[in-house]
Amino acid sequence: MLVESPSLEKEFNPWLSAEARFDEAANRLGLDEGLRKVLNMPAREITVHIPVQLDDGRIEVFTGYRVQHSIARGPAKGGIRFAPDVTLDEIRALAAWMTWKCAVVNIPFGGGKGGVICEPSILSNAELEKITRRYTAEILDFIGPERDVPAPDVNTNEQTMAWIMDTYSMHVRHTVTAVVTGKPLNLGGSRGRVEATGRGCMIVTQQALKQFRLDPSDTRVVVQGFGNVGSMAAKLMARAGFKIVAVIEWDGAVYNPHGLDIPALINHRQETGSITGFREAEDIDRRDAMFLECDVLLPAARENVITSENADRIRCKILCEGANGPTTYVADSILQDKKIFVIPDILANAGGVTVSYFEWVQDRQGFFWNEQLVNGRLEEIMVNSFRDIVEYADKHGVNNRIAAYMVALDRVAFAIKLRGIYA
Ligand code: GLU
């Protein structure tokens, strides 16, 4: 049940946030007690300790996880992140969110997530490759096109996926492209995958704008996090006429009330290593930037950005959650009281896994689609899913997040009921 005033430690535990929303949705659905138990626990959790010889000859041991929350609707699906503060509870929550996300957009996958505790910024490419390959080797029996299909996430990318694909393929002694998604284009990747999460964010935001009768050219967007999701969303939204007035990163924030030139900002970051000091923009305090008055706030980095401590200072009309779990469950009710239209993560950022699904289908068929086809099919799924959730929320008098959870839980529970419990 929702805890009234939890400690910050509890509030910031993503698994407790995932559970609190799950409980509320399950209660409203009147979900069977047994199914509830099944859905609330990850099906499988793997912990591995990965010995790696570093460039200086020392041996270091890294800890990695892969959690498969559910395979009720298909193979587990979800990214792998590399970060120093990865915890099992975080990976558990992210795996559960993948289950609900795939169900919201109705693609035939369950949910999984992986993580390795490491600091990629101080590791060489060779060290990252060794960590990736050994991690893959340790979880090899549990992944595969029909079992569990990893993808990129925080601090992992196309190159990481190519190493995973190669390691898996070397072990099974033939090339298996469909074991991971988010691969480079010439190794079985899909057109449109790199932009897909950002594109999905843009599509659902465009749908939400209709409810506010707002035109993109009058829409001020603040983007928090300028990694794959944030930078691609900003680029595509700017191209569609939105004004990206601020971008916030870990080391600073830039502001231009007339809209930032996003391709130039991406170049600037590439050249200087930071978004700060960008021409035609003002450097502003990164701690205040999220509270700028705007139409759309797009958190696109990590969890726990909007919390009980700051939610009352958020001044947007629409919150589009590009990241997974950017809002704590305690902050949900504050946003609701402020009448902020929330496009929850499991809907807003589902564009990535949707195109991952397209990639998996293309790999298995050995037949590749053009970008127009990928983007057209993505658009159709995102628009329909947005409509389903918003209509469900209206009909049942719940907020969009709980509506998304209810739709997802219902779909996954239905699959389990039909399959029955194997004994
Ligand atoms: N890491 C992305 C997410 O959190 C993509 C997952 C995937 O494509 O499997 O949705």
The enclosing H or E element of 245 equals strand 243-249
DSSP category for residue 275: S
pLDDT at residue number 121:
96
**Any ligand 1 atom below 6 A from CB of 107:** no
Among candidate residues 374, 316, 382, the one with its CA nearest the CA of residue 347: 382
Average pLDDT over the chain reads 97
Give the model's confidence band at 6: pLDDT under 50 very low, under 70 low, under 90 confident, else very high: confident
175 CA from centroid of ligand 1 (Å): 22
CA distance 146 to 393: 34
**Any ligand 1 atom below 6 A from CB of 324:** yes
Give the model's confidence band at 84: pLDDT under 50 very low, under 70 low, under 90 confident, else very high: very high
CA distance 179 to 229: 22
Give the model's confidence band at 16: pLDDT under 50 very low, under 70 low, under 90 confident, else very high: very high
* Angle between helices 14-29 and 400-419 in degrees, nearest 10: 70
Summarize the confidence of residues 49-73 as an average pLDDT.
98
Summarize the confidence of residues 64-84 as an average pLDDT.
98
- What's at 422, amino acid-wise? Y
**DSSP labels for 348-366?**
HTTHHHHHHHHHHHHHHHT
Q: Angle 248-251-257 (CA atoms, 0-180°, nearest 5)?
A: 30
How far are the Cα atoms of 48, 95, 224, 269 from residue 84, in angstroms, in the given order?
A: 16, 18, 20, 23
How far are the Cα atoms of 83, 407, 413 from residue 26, in angstroms, in the given order?
A: 32, 10, 10
Substitution candidate for ligand 1 out of 86, 154, 197, 321 with most atoms within 8 A of CB:
197
423 CA from centroid of ligand 1 (Å): 32
Q: For residue 54, count CB atoms less than 10 angstroms from its CB and return exposed for 0-12, middle for 13-18, buried for 19 or more.
A: middle
pLDDT, tens digit, 9 for 90 and up, residues 403-419: 999 999 999 999 999 99
pLDDT for residue 1 is more than 90: no
Instruction: Enumerate residues 6+ apart whose C-beta is below 8 A from 409.
Output: 22, 25, 26, 29, 31, 39, 100, 103
pLDDT for residue 2 is more than 60: no
pLDDT for residue 3 is more than 60: no
pLDDT for residue 307 is more than 80: yes
**Any ligand 1 atom below 6 A from CB of 385:** no
Summarize the confidence of residues 210-237 as an average pLDDT.
97
Task: Specify whether the CB–CB gap between 221 and 298 falls below 8 A.
Answer: yes
366 CA from centroid of ligand 1 (Å): 22
90 token code pair: 């975080």
Classify domain 42-178 at the CATH topology level.
Rossmann fold (3.40.50)
CATH number corresponding to 196-348: 3.40.50.720
Complete edge-to-edge strand list for the sheet that includes strand 341-343: 282-284, 252-255, 243-249, 220-224, 296-299, 318-320, 341-343
User: pLDDT over 70 for what percent of the chain?
Assistant: 99
Give the model's confidence band at 4: pLDDT under 50 very low, under 70 low, under 90 confident, else very high: low
Give the model's confidence band at 5: pLDDT under 50 very low, under 70 low, under 90 confident, else very high: low
Give the model's confidence band at 145: pLDDT under 50 very low, under 70 low, under 90 confident, else very high: very high
**DSSP labels for 11-49?**
HT-HHHHHHHHHHHHHHHHT--HHHHHHHHS-SEEEEEE
Question: Structural domain boundaries of the chain?
Answer: 42-178, 196-348
Task: Establish whether domains 42-178 and 196-348 are of one fold.
Answer: yes
CA distance 111 to 72: 9
CA distance 219 to 245: 9
Residues classed as catalytic: 113
Phi then psi dihedrals of residue 302, to 5 deg: -120, -170
CA distance 242 to 236: 9
**DSSP labels for 277-334?**
T-TTSEEE-HHHHTTS--SEEEE-S-S-SB-TTTGGG---SEEE--SSS-B-HHHHHH
Task: Specify whether the CB–CB gap between 325 and 17 falls below 8 A.
Answer: yes
pLDDT for residue 144 is more than 50: yes
Polymer length in residues for the chain = 423
**Any ligand 1 atom below 6 A from CB of 328:** no
Summarize the confidence of residues 29-47 as an average pLDDT.
97
pLDDT, tens digit, 9 for 90 and up, residues 187-206: 999 999 999 999 999 999 99
122 token code pair: 């101080």
CA distance 355 to 350: 9
